C-alpha cells in the first residue's frame, strides 16, 4: 500500500458501527450461535449434537474475542511500547471456552442462551478437548503467565509450536501398566486458533557455512533443507479488560508441496520424503520430563521455533522504523528454560550476517534482549547437544558458539588468571566423546538476567550449577521470581461455589479480588464465624461429591465421600517420591489389618488419589504406577479395611482432571527430596482451594508456609543441607533398610513377598530403595509417617481443620501469577501496562 491511501477504505462510520462483537444480550447470543450452526458448521437444528453445539458456541465466543484482539493489536501498534515475548516449547492450556466466558464476563448470558437452544452449557464445556501442548509444571506455568499478562494489560506475546499431537494419552492395562496412545487433539477442528497462511518464514537446516572475513565477521550459510514456518494465532483474553494478547504457534510445512528438483529427476519417493520430513518437525511434543534426549528432531524443533519467532519479532520491530541499536529498548525475550537458547546465536547470526553489524555491537544488543529462567537443578535435566550434531544441522550457529566461547573464556582467564579448572567448568563446550554444547552456560552468558522459580531454588542455582557465573558476573545478574498460578482458572473457574462465597463474604466483586489476590486476607476474620465455617465446609463436601460423581461416571467406582481426600497429582518421577506415598499407604493398610474392628472404628477414613503420567521410557516410574494400581486392587477389595482406606489411580491426568480434583482435596502431597523440586505450582492450587499440604521443606512449599503460617502446613523430612551428607553415607557407609527403618523394611518385604501380585515384578523398584536410595526414601520414611499421623489427628477436630483451611486460602495472595508477571515486567523486562480503551 502506498503511504497516501486512506484507512479504512470507504465510509469510516459504516466500518465503525459494524465493528463489534456479540452483544451481551441473550437474543444476540442465540442469534450468533444459530448463525454459526448454519453457516460455519453447515448444520441444522435437527441433527445438532453436543459437539456441534459446543463448536457453534465456541465460534460465537471467538467472534467476541476477535474484536478485542484486533483492537488490542492495533492499540499496541499505535502506541509502539516495549514488548515482551515469552518463548516456551510448551503451553499447557487445557480447555478454553469456560475460561474465555469468565474472562469476558459473559458466562451467565451464554448459559441462558444455550439453555434457550435446548442444550446445557455444562455439557457443552465437557465436549472440548484439552490443548495439552506440554508435559507438566513448566508448560502450565507458561499458560498461567499468558493469562496474567493479558489480565494486567501487558504487551506480551507467547511463541511456541503447534504440535499435531500433544502429550500422549495414558491408558492403564489390566495388569497396571501404562500404555501410550497418540493425542490427536486437532481431529475435530480447533475453533480457538486462526491460521495465518500469509505469516510465514523460511527456516534453513544443514548446508554449509563459509566465513567471508577474518575474525568474527560475516559468513554465508547456504544449501541444506529449507522448511516453511506458518503461524497459527491463539487469542488470550484478559480478565475483565479488553486487552487480548496473542499466542503464536508455528507449524512446519515443506517449502513447496514436494521437492521440485527431485521430482523432475524422476525421484518421486525422494520428493515425497522431503515433504514428510518438513511436516515431521512439529508433529509431536516430546514427552520426556527432566531428562535430555540428544535427538536430532528435538534440536530441529528448537531451531525451527526460535528462528521463526525471531524473524517475526524482528519484522515487527522493523515496522517501527527504528534503528537496530534500539532493539533492546523495544524488545525483551524471556527464555523458558534452555529450550530456546539457540535464539542467542540465531540473533547473533542475523545481526552479523544479515544486518552487517560488528561482533561487539551485536553482542551488546543480544545480551540486553534475552532473559533466562531456570526450572531445575537436577543434573540429568541440563540440556547438552553433541557438537557433531550441531555442526551438521546448524553449521553457522556452531561457528558462532565457538566464537562466543573463545571471547568469553578470554575474559574469564583475565579475571581468574591460570585457573584451568574454572575455564573447563565455564566453557560452552564440555570435553568428551563427543564434545557437547552446554545450553545452560550459553543461556547464562547471553542473557541480561537469570532467575530461578522459588527462593530456595534460586539460591541453589546460584550456589551450585551457576556458581562460577555468579563469581564472574556478580550476583546482581541473578534473581528470583517465585512462580504463581492464575486465580481465574484455579479458583473462579474450577471452584465457582467457593468463588461466590468469597465475593459475598468480602462484599467485593470477584473482578476486583481476582486481580488483587491479597484481598483474600479479609477472609481471616471469618474463620472465627461458625456459620461461615459451615458454608466453607459444605462447599468442600460438594466438591468431593462432584469428584466422586466424575469417577463414578468415567471409571465406575463408588468413592466414599465421608472420608478425607488425600491427593498426589503430578508427573511420575523418583525425585517427586510417589514411592514414599504408596509405601506409606501400604504401611497404613498393614496397620489397619493388625487392628481389631473396634480399634479400626476410631481411625480417620481416608481415600488416596494418584494421577500422573510417566515418560514412556522411564521404567521405574512406570513400575511405580503398576504398584499403585495393584495395591489399589488389593486394598479396595478388602472388606475389613475398605471403609477406612481406599486408593485410586486416575488415568490420563490432564488440566481438566486437575480442575475437578484440586477443589475436592482435604490434603495434598508435595514430598520431593529436599532441594529437588524447583518450585511446584500445584501446591499453590491446592492451598488456594483450601486444601492443606503435607510436604517437605522444598521449593515453594517453604514460601507457602511463610505466608499461611507453619501451623497450617504439615512439614516433614530432612532439609536440603543434609541431603548431600546422607547420599555420601549411603554410598560409603550403607546401612541395610531393616536396620535403618524397620517399618519401611516390613512394607518392602510385603511387596517382595507377593501381597500385591508377583513380588518379583517390583524388585527393580524396591531395589532403588534397598540399594543406593538416591532420593532418601529410607531417611524420610519415619518422619513422613509421623506427619500423616498429625494430619489424621488434626482432621479429627473438624472445626480447627476448617479454620486452617480458611486461613490457608486467605493467605495465598502472593501466589497469583499476576504478582509473578508484574515482577518480570518491572524487574526484568522494563515493561508497562498498555490498557486498551482507557485513553
The distance of closest approach from Cβ of residue 340 to ligand F58 in the complex, given in angstroms and rounded to an integer, is 12
611 is a site residue for ligand F58 (CB under 6 A): no
**C-alpha closest to that of 540 among 661, 695, 657:** 661
Taking CB under 6 A as the criterion, which residues in 79-138 touch ligand F58? Answer: 135-138
CB atoms within 10 A of CB 257: 11
Q: Compute the least distance from the CB of residue 483 to ligand F58, in Å.
A: 5
Q: Which residues are CB-contacts of 682 (< 8 A; sequence separation ≥ 6)?
A: 137, 569, 570, 658, 662, 668, 670
Which residues are marked as active site? Answer: 375, 570-571, 576, 681, 685
User: CA-CA distance, 612 to 569, in Å (whole number)?
Assistant: 6
Q: Which residue, among 787, 554, 528, 537, has the nearest Cα to 648 in the 3D structure?
A: 554
**Separation CA 633–CA 758 (nearest Å):** 13
Rg (CA), the chain: 28
Cell of 697: 521443606
Contact between 814 and 707 under an 8 Å Cβ cutoff? The reply is yes
Smallest CA-to-CA distance from 676 within 339, 381, 287, 372 is with 381
Nearer to ligand F58, 136 or 158 (CB): 136
Residues 395-454 that bind ligand F58 (CB under 6 A): 453
141 binds ligand F58 (CB under 6 A): yes
- Cβ distance to ligand F58 smaller for residue 56 or 92: 92
Question: What residues from 642 to 701 belong to the interface with ligand F58 (CB under 6 A)?
Answer: 677-681, 699
b/e per residue 456-465 (b: at least 16 CB within 10 A): bbbebbbeeb
> φ and ψ at 713, to 5 degrees?
-125, 140
Residue 423, classed as helix, strand or coil, is: helix
Question: What is d(CA 129, CA 794) in angstroms, rounded to the nearest whole number?
Answer: 39
Smallest gap, in angstroms, from Cβ of residue 467 to ligand F58? 20
Of the candidates 586, 592, 766, 573, which has an alpha carbon nearest to the alpha carbon of residue 676? Answer: 573
| Only segment of 373-381, 460-468, 587-595, 715-723 that touches ligand F58 (CB under 6 A) | 373-381
Closest approach of ligand F58 to the CB of residue 236, in Å: 19
153 phi, psi to nearest 5 deg = 60, 30
d(CA 710, CA 699): 15
In terms of CB distance, is 324 or 382 closer to ligand F58?
A: 382
| Count, residues in the chain | 839
Identify the CA nearest to 523 among candidates 532, 510, 514.
532
- In angstroms, what is the minimal distance from the CB of 701 to ligand F58? 10
Closest CB to ligand F58 among residues 92, 547: 92
Site string for ligand F58, 219-248 (x = CB under 6 A): ------------------------------
Between 286 and 402, whose beta carbon lies closer to ligand F58?
286
**# residues contacting ligand F58 (CB under 6 A):** 19
CB of 375 to ligand F58, least distance (A): 4
630 and 586 in contact (C-beta within 8 Å)? no
Rounded to 5 degrees, what are φ and ψ at 310? -65, -40
Which of positions 290-329 make contact with ligand F58 (CB under 6 A)?
290
Nearer to ligand F58, 21 or 484 (CB): 484
CB of 332 to ligand F58, least distance (A): 19
Contact stretch for ligand F58 (CB under 6 A) within 101-109, 257-265, 374-382, 581-589: 374-382
Name every residue whose Cβ is closer than 8 Å to that of residue 197 and which is 6 or more positions away in sequence. Answer: 230
Q: How far is the CB of 404 from ligand F58 (least distance, A)?
A: 24
List the interface residues with ligand F58, window 462-491 (CB under 6 A): 483
What φ, ψ does residue 572 adopt, rounded to 5°? Answer: -75, 125
Q: Choose, by CB under 6 A, the member of 178, 252, 376, 480 that binds ligand F58.
A: 376
- The residue (of 260 and 617) whose beta carbon lies closer to ligand F58 is 617
Grid-cell match 492464575, residue found: 486
In the complex, what is the shortest distance from the CB of residue 289 to ligand F58, in angstroms, rounded to a whole number? 5
Sites for ligand F58 among residues 693-732 (CB under 6 A): 699
Please say which residue, 225 or 288, places its beta carbon nearer to ligand F58. 288
Q: Which is nearer to ligand F58, 290 or 510 (CB)?
A: 290
Q: Which residue has the cell 483450601?
A: 690
Identify the helix (H) or strand (E) that includes residue 247: strand 244-254
What order do you get walking across the sheet with 436-438 strand by strand? 384-386, 436-438, 429-430
Nearer to ligand F58, 339 or 515 (CB): 339
- The two beta strands, 449-452 and 370-373, are parallel
Answer yes or no whether residue 814 interacts with ligand F58 by CB under 6 A.
Answer: no
Span near ligand F58 by CB under 6 A; candidates 264-272, 375-383, 532-540, 590-598? 375-383
DSSP H or E stretch at residue 194: strand 193-205
Cell numbers given for 689: 482451594
* Alpha-helical segments (H) within 289-386: 296-318, 327-330, 343-349, 359-369
Our CB check for ligand F58 shows the closer of 136 and 605 to be 136
Is the bond leading into 434 cis (omega within 30 degrees of zero)? yes
Span from 106-114, 115-123, 237-245, 282-290 in contact with ligand F58 (CB under 6 A) = 282-290
The Cα-based distances of 196 to 235, 251, 301, 755, 803 in angstroms read: 13, 10, 20, 58, 52
Q: What SS3 state is found at 40? A: helix
Residue among 64 and 282 whose Cβ is closer to ligand F58? 282
Give me the phi and psi of 516, to 5 degrees please.
Answer: -145, 80
The 8-class DSSP code of residue 577 comes to T
Q: Which residue has the cell 498429625?
A: 790
Least spacing, CB of residue 139 vs ligand F58, in Å? 7
Q: Provide the CA 773 distance to its chain's centre, in angstroms.
A: 29
Contact pick of 275, 288, 561, 752 for ligand F58 (by CB under 6 A): 288
In the complex with ligand F58, the residue whose CB is nearer, 498 or 614, is 614
Q: Is the bond preceding residue 411 a cis peptide, omega within 30 degrees?
A: no
CB of 188 to ligand F58, least distance (A): 27
- In 753-836, where does DSSP find H-type helix? 763-770, 777-796, 798-810, 817-824
Shortest distance, position 675 Cβ to ligand F58, whole Å: 11
Alpha-carbon span 43 to 509, nearest angstrom: 40
Q: Which residue is nearest to ligand F58 (CB)?
A: 137
Rounded to a whole number of angstroms, the minimum distance from the CB of residue 679 to ligand F58 is: 4
Which residues contact ligand F58 (rule: CB under 6 A)?
135-138, 141, 288-290, 375-376, 381, 453, 483, 677-681, 699
Amino acid at each position: 500500500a502506498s503511504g497516501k491511501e486512506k484507512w479504512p477504505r470507504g465510509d469510516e462510520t459504516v466500518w465503525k458501527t459494524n465493528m463489534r462483537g456479540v452483544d451481551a444480550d441473550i437474543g444476540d447470543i442465540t442469534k450468533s450461535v444459530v448463525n454459526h450452526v448454519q453457516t460455519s458448521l453447515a448444520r441444522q437444528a435437527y441433527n445438532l449434537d453436543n459437539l456441534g453445539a459446543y463448536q457453534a458456541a465456541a465460534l460465537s465466543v471467538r467472534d467476541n474475542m476477535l474484536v478485542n484482539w484486533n483492537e488490542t493489536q492495533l492499540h499496541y501498534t499505535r502506541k509502539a511500547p516495549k514488548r515482551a515475548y515469552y518463548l516456551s516449547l510448551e503451553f499447557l492450556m487445557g480447555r478454553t471456552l469456560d475460561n474465555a466466558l469468565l474472562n469476558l464476563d459473559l458466562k451467565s448470558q451464554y448459559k441462558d442462551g444455550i439453555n434457550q437452544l435446548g442444550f446445557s452449557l455444562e455439557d457443552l464445556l465437557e465436549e472440548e478437548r484439552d490443548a495439552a501442548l506440554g508435559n507438566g509444571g513448566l508448560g502450565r506455568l507458561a499458560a498461567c503467565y499468558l493469562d496474567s499478562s493479558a489480565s494486567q494489560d501487558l504487551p506480551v506475546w507467547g511463541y511456541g509450536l503447534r504440535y499435531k499431537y500433544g502429550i500422549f494419552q495414558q491408558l492403564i492395562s489390566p495388569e497396571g501398566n501404562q500404555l501410550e496412545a497418540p493425542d490427536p487433539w486437532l481431529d475435530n477442528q480447533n475453533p480457538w486458533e486462526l491460521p495465518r497462511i500469509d505469516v510465514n518464514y523460511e527456516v534453513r537446516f544443514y548446508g554449509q557455512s563459509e566465513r567471508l572475513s577474518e575474525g568474527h565477521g560475516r559468513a554465508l550459510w547456504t544449501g541444506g533443507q529449507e522448511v516453511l514456518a506458518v503461524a497459527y494465532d491463539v487469542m488470550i483474553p484478559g480478565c475483565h479488560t479488553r486487552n487480548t494478547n496473542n499466542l503464536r504457534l508455528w507449524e512446519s510445512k515443506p517449502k513447496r508441496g514436494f521437492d521440485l528438483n527431485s521430482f523432475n529427476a524422476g525421484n518421486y519417493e525422494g520428493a515425497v520424503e522431503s515433504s514428510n520430513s518438513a511436516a515431521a518437525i512439529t508433529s509431536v511434543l516430546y514427552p520426556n520430563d527432566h531428562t535430555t534426549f540428544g535427538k536430532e528432531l528435538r534440536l530441529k524443533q528448537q531451531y525451527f521455533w526460535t528462528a521463526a519467532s525471531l524473524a517475526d519479532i524482528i519484522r515487527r520491530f522493523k515496522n517501527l522504523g527504528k534503528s537496530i541499536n534500539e532493539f533492546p529498548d523495544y524488545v525483551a525475550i524471556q527464555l523458558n528454560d534452555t529450550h530456546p537458547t539457540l535464539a542467542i546465536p540465531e540473533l547473533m547470526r542475523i545481526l552479523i550476517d544479515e544486518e552487517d553489524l560488528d561482533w561487539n555491537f551485536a553482542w551488546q544488543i543480544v545480551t540486553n534482549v534475552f532473559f533466562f529462567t531456570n526450572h531445575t537443578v537436577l543434573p540429568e535435566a541440563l540440556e547438552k547437544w553433541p557438537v557433531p550434531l550441531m555442526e551438521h544441522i546448524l553449521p553457522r550457529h556452531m561457528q558462532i558458539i565457538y566464537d562466543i566461547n573463545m571471547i568469553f573464556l578470554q575474559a574469564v582467564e583475565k579475571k581468574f588468571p591460570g585457573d584451568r579448572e574454572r575455564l573447563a567448568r565455564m566453557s560452552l563446550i564440555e570435553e568428551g566423546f563427543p564434545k557437547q554444547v552446554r545450553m545452560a552456560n550459553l543461556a547464562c552468558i547471553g542473557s541480561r538476567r537469570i532467575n530461578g522459580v522459588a527462593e530456595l531454588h534460586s539460591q541453589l542455582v546460584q550456589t551450585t550449577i551457576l556458581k562460577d557465573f555468579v563469581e564472574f558476573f556478580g550476583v546482581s545478574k541473578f534473581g528470583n521470581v517465585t512462580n504463581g498460578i492464575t486465580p481465574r482458572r484455579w479458583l473462579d473457574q474450577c471452584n465457582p461455589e467457593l468463588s461466590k462465597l468469597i465475593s459475598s463474604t468480602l462484599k467485593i466483586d470477584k473482578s476486583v479480588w481476582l486481580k488483587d489476590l491479597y484481598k483474600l486476607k479479609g477472609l481471616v476474620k471469618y474463620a472465627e464465624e461458625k456459620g461461615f465455617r459451615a458454608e466453607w465446609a459444605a462447599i468442600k463436601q460438594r466438591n468431593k461429591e462432584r469428584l466422586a460423581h466424575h469417577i463414578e461416571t468415567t471409571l465406575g467406582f463408588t468413592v466414599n465421600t465421608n472420608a478425607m481426600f488425600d491427593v498426589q497429582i503430578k508427573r511420575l518421577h523418583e525425585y517427586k517420591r510417589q514411592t514414599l506415598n504408596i509405601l506409606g499407604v501400604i504401611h497404613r493398610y498393614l496397620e489397619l489389618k493388625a487392628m481389631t474392628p473396634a480399634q479400626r472404628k476410631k481411625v480417620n477414613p481416608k481415600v488416596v488419589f494418584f494421577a500422573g503420567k510417566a515418560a514412556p521410557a522411564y521404567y521405574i516410574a512406570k513400575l511405580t504406577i503398576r504398584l499403585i494400581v495393584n495395591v489399589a486392587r488389593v486394598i479396595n477389595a478388602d472388606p475389613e479395611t475398605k471403609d477406612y482406606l481406599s486408593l485410586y489411580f486416575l488415568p490420563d491426568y490432564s488440566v481438566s482432571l486437575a480442575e475437578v480434583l484440586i477443589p475436592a482435596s482435604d490434603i495434598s502431597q508435595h514430598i520431593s527430596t529436599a532441594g529437588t523440586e524447583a518450585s511446584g505450582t500445584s501446591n499453590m492450587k491446592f492451598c488456594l482451594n483450601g486444601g492443606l499440604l503435607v510436604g517437605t521443606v522444598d521449593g515453594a512449599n517453604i514460601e507457602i508456609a511463610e505466608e499461611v503460617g507453619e501451623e497450617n502446613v504439615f512439614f516433614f523430612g530432612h532439609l536440603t543441607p543434609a541431603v548431600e551428607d546422607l547420599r555420601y553415607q549411603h554410598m560409603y557407609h550403607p546401612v541395610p533398610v531393616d536396620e535403618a527403618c524397620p517399618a519401611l523394611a516390613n512394607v518392602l518385604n510385603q511387596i517382595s513377598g507377593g501381597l500385591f501380585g508377583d513380588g518379583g515384578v517390583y524388585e527393580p523398584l524396591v531395589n532403588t530403595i534397598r540399594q543406593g536410595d538416591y532420593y532418601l526414601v529410607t531417611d524420610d520414611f519415619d518422619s513422613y509417617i509421623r506427619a500423616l499421623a498429625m494430619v489424621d489427628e488434626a482432621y479429627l477436630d473438624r472445626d480447627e481443620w476448617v479454620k486452617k483451611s480458611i486461613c490457608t486460602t486467605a493467605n495465598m495472595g502472593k501466589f497469583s501469577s499476576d504478582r509473578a508477571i508484574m515482577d518480570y515486567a518491572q524487574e526484568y523486562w522494563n515493561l508497562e501496562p498498555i490498557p486498551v480503551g482507557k485513553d
